[in-house]
């Protein structure tokens, strides 16, 4: 019996680390970058800081500001085509998961693979041995995309969000870039990181290396997420969350996630809710659902979240305790329920087939049928109001 842990690209972490972006590209012999981001990142002044670093290092650049939430394959095609047209030799994704995933997927085209990119974005992800350097600069503390191989891209033609695995080169994680993050995004992305850590820890492919990152991330999130929401200008809380999100990303590189993300993908396709919010809505009930199958691991999660245990709790009780703690965090950060978002119970339970068909359900510690998914979706709707 053996396990595999892949460490991924190097990470530069620390306040002000965006200032070394240019010199790190220059040190790799890179001469022209395509910066990929959305217009909100530019308005926040973050692109200007990246450009200043590139200018200081003598690295040329072009820009693509067409990223949108849950980026469709057409946006990836546009970014990749621009990179080829301007002669870029690397891609720099700046922003949340949408910007970083766009950059990752666009590297398929910059690596010489013929488009359109949707040929490589499939229901059961494939690995592409991409060669184009990809540098990722997260501006949210949640997705962990800067240290994973997966790019999640919308396929409107299939009414689905599918994935592909690519190679990445470097992550630059600067907590200062996260101080301007709006409160709603602070909550959504932080809960996404919690989902990464807890789902990977309860995955049927969990491994000992990833476990340490996962439990470490859970502790930091439990200690700092709500505080970072309540005190958004506090750089200490932002730094703790930036590190937690990065660790959570490392945690799910190999074990992957399972039911909360399968539910989240279905919700975001159906209701166009942000990825982190969608995953958070399914997380508490996912933990309650899997707890009887992994009681010892659920006890570890409870302790990491600061929940006092007597030692006599069974799996079901542990699941209840963890679920209620998650709901408490969500309420403290005013995360809207599915009812508040305008969804009906019938619409939500109607997503059962999509959830059961997700490749992520294969990482759940117990089998997931359509009936199981329908019951779980009903609880997701009923229990968070």
Query: What string of DSSP letters covers 183-238?
Result: HHHHHHHHHHHHHHHHHHHTSTT--HHHHHHHHHHHHHHHHHHHHHHHSTT-HHHH
pLDDT tier at 261 (50, 70, 90 boundaries)?
very high
pLDDT tier at 292 (50, 70, 90 boundaries)?
very high
How does pLDDT run across 368-383, given as a tens digit for each residue?
A: 999 999 999 999 999 9
CA–CA separation, 380 and 282 (whole Å): 6
Q: Is 163 helix (H, G, I), strand (E, B) or coil?
A: strand
pLDDT tier at 9 (50, 70, 90 boundaries)?
confident
Averaged pLDDT score across all residues of the chain: 96
Per-residue pLDDT for 5 more than 90? no
Question: Strand pairing partners for 63?
Answer: 35
Mean pLDDT within 75-80? 98
Mean pLDDT within 314-340? 97
pLDDT tier at 54 (50, 70, 90 boundaries)?
very high
**CA angle, 73 as apex, 70 and 78 as ends, to 5°?**
110
Per-residue pLDDT for 237 more than 70? yes
Longest dimension (CA), the chain: 63
Mean pLDDT within 52-78? 97
Mean pLDDT within 200-225? 97
How does pLDDT run across 140-159, given as a tens digit for each residue?
A: 998 889 989 999 999 999 99
- Cβ–Cβ < 8 Å for 364, 204: yes
Per-residue pLDDT for 2 more than 90? no
pLDDT value of position 232? 95
Per-residue pLDDT for 138 more than 90? yes
Residues in the chain: 385
Mean pLDDT within 111-118? 97
Per-residue pLDDT for 8 more than 80? no
The per-residue b/e assignment along 303-333, b for 16 or more CB within 10 angstroms, e otherwise, is ebbebeeeeebebebbbebbbebbbebbeeb
Mean pLDDT within 92-101? 96
Mean pLDDT within 349-368? 97
pLDDT tier at 30 (50, 70, 90 boundaries)?
very high
Mean pLDDT within 198-203? 98
Ordered domains of the chain (ranges, CATH): 10-177 (3.40.50.1970), 184-383 (1.20.1090.10)
Q: Token pair 């949340």 is at which residue?
A: 96
Q: Cβ–Cβ contacts within 10 Å for residue 10, how many?
A: 12
Q: What are phi and psi of 13, to 5 degrees?
A: -125, 135
CA–CA separation, 80 and 82 (whole Å): 5
pLDDT tier at 385 (50, 70, 90 boundaries)?
confident
Share of the chain above pLDDT 70, in %: 99
Prediction pTM value: 0.93
Per-residue pLDDT for 4 more than 80? no
pLDDT tier at 1 (50, 70, 90 boundaries)?
low
Q: Which two tokens stand for residue 2?
A: 């053996």
Beta strands across the sheet bearing 10-13: 10-13, 170-173, 134-138, 90-95, 32-36, 60-64
Per-residue pLDDT for 122 more than 90? yes
pLDDT value of position 205? 95
**Peptide bond preceding 116: is omega within 30 degrees of 0, i.e. cis?**
yes
CA–CA separation, 312 and 294 (whole Å): 15
Q: Which two tokens stand for residue 134?
A: 């990809």
Mean pLDDT within 74-95? 98
Mean pLDDT within 171-194? 95
């Amino acid at each position: 019996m053996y396990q595999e842990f892949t460490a991924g690209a190097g990470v530069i972490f620390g306040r002000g680390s965006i200032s070394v972006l240019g010199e790190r590209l220059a040190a790799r012999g890179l001469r022209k970058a395509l910066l990929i981001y959305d217009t909100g990142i530019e308005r926040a002044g973050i692109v200007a800081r990246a450009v200043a670093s590139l200018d200081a290092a003598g690295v040329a650049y072009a820009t693509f500001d067409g990223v949108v939430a849950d980026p469709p394959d057409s946006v990836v095609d546009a970014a990749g085509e621009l990179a080829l047209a301007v002669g870029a030799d690397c891609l720099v994704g700046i922003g949340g998961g949408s910007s970083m995933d766009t950059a990752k997927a666009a590297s398929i085209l910059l690596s010489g693979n013929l488009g359109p990119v949707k040929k490589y974005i499939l229901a059961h992800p494939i690995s592409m041995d991409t060669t184009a350097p990809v540098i990722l600069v997260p501006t949210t503390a949640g997705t962990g995309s800067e240290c994973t191989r997966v790019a999640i891209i919308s396929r409107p033609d299939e009414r689905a969000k599918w994935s592909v695995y690519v190679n990445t080169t470097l992550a630059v994680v600067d907590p200062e870039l996260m101080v301007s993050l709006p409160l709603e995004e602070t909550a959504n992305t932080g809960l996404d990181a919690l989902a990464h850590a807890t789902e990977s820890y309860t995955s049927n492919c969990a491994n000992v290396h990833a476990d340490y990152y996962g439990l470490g991330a859970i502790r930091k999130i439990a200690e700092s997420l709500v505080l970072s929401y309540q005190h958004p200008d506090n750089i200490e809380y932002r730094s703790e969350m930036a590190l937690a999100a990065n660790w959570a990303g490392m945690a799910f590189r190999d074990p992957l996630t399972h039911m909360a993300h399968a539910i989240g993908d279905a919700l975001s396709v159906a209701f166009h809710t942000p990825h982190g919010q969608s995953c958070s809505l399914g997380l508490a009930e996912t933990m309650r659902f899997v707890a009887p199958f992994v009681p010892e691991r659920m006890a570890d999660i409870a302790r990491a979240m600061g929940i006092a245990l007597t030692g006599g709790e069974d799996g079901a009780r542990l699941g209840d305790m963890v679920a209620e703690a998650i709901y408490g965090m969500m309420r403290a950060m005013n995360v809207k329920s599915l009812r508040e978002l305008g969804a009906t119970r019938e619409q939500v339970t109607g997503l059962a087939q999509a959830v059961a068909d997700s490749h992520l359900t294969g990482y759940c510690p117990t089998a997931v049928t359509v009936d199981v998914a329908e019951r779980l979706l009903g609880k997701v709707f009923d229990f968070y109001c």
